[in-house]
């Protein structure tokens, strides 16, 4: 049920976007991530549920192989992330910088970045200077934006208790 809700939320978010913004950068689109995770979760849980209800050995084997595969992928990702931490940090920074470039083009992405910056108390991928890559926040004389030479509000630190 939860996986179907994830798929429904992803499809709903995807349909609400404007056509231009939806096609701008699908690699950093949270709606596509919701749809993919929802479909994958549904397929795996469907195999486990139907396999256990019908006592179908084949579906139970598919379920256990999928769970074992997911566990091994997570384990491998953790080990590779530790071993190649510099490359992993660079790739994460590249993804964050790509998201910063498309910050105002996608409301879901904007909310995701704002949530991350508020939650972790950070600003940009490495520093606040990363926001100069965005057309609205870059600090050039040709930029007519009111947000020129600034950062999003989510970068601002709040006093404790607020």
pLDDT tens digits along 91-134? 888 888 888 998 888 788 898 899 989 888 888 888 888 898 88
72: in domain: no
What local confidence, expressed as pLDDT, does residue 27 receive?
63
119: in domain: yes
Q: Quick one: which of 22, 25, 66, 26 has its CA closest to 43?
A: 66
pLDDT tens digits along 17-41? 755 454 556 666 778 888 889 999 9
Report whether 63 contacts 88 (CB < 8 A).
no
14: in domain: no
DSSP for residue 139? -
47: in domain: no
Write the CATH number for 108: 1.10.1450
* pLDDT score of 76 more than 90: yes
pLDDT tens digits along 50-62? 999 999 999 999 9
Domain of 122, in residue numbers = 85-161
* Whether the model pTM is above 0.75: no
122: in domain: yes
* pLDDT score of 71 more than 90: yes
What local confidence, expressed as pLDDT, does residue 144 receive?
86
89: in domain: yes
């Amino acid at each position: 049920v939860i996986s179907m809700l994830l798929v429904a939320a992803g499809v709903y978010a995807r349909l609400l976007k404007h056509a231009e913004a939806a096609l701008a950068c699908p690699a950093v689109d949270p709606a596509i991530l919701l749809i993919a995770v929802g479909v994958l979760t549904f397929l795996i849980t469907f195999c486990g549920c139907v396999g256990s209800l019908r006592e179908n050995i084949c579906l139970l084997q598919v379920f256990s192989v999928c769970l074992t595969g997911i566990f091994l992928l997570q384990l491998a990702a953790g080990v590779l992330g530790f071993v190649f931490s510099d490359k992993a940090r660079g790739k994460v920074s590249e993804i964050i910088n790509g998201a910063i470039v498309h910050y105002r083009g996608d409301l879901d992405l904007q909310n995701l970045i704002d949530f991350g910056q508020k939650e972790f108390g950070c600003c940009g991928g490495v520093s606040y200077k990363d926001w100069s890559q965005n057309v609205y926040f870059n600090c050039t004389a040709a930029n007519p934006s009111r947000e020129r030479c600034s950062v999003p509000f989510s970068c601002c630190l709040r006093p404790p208790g607020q």
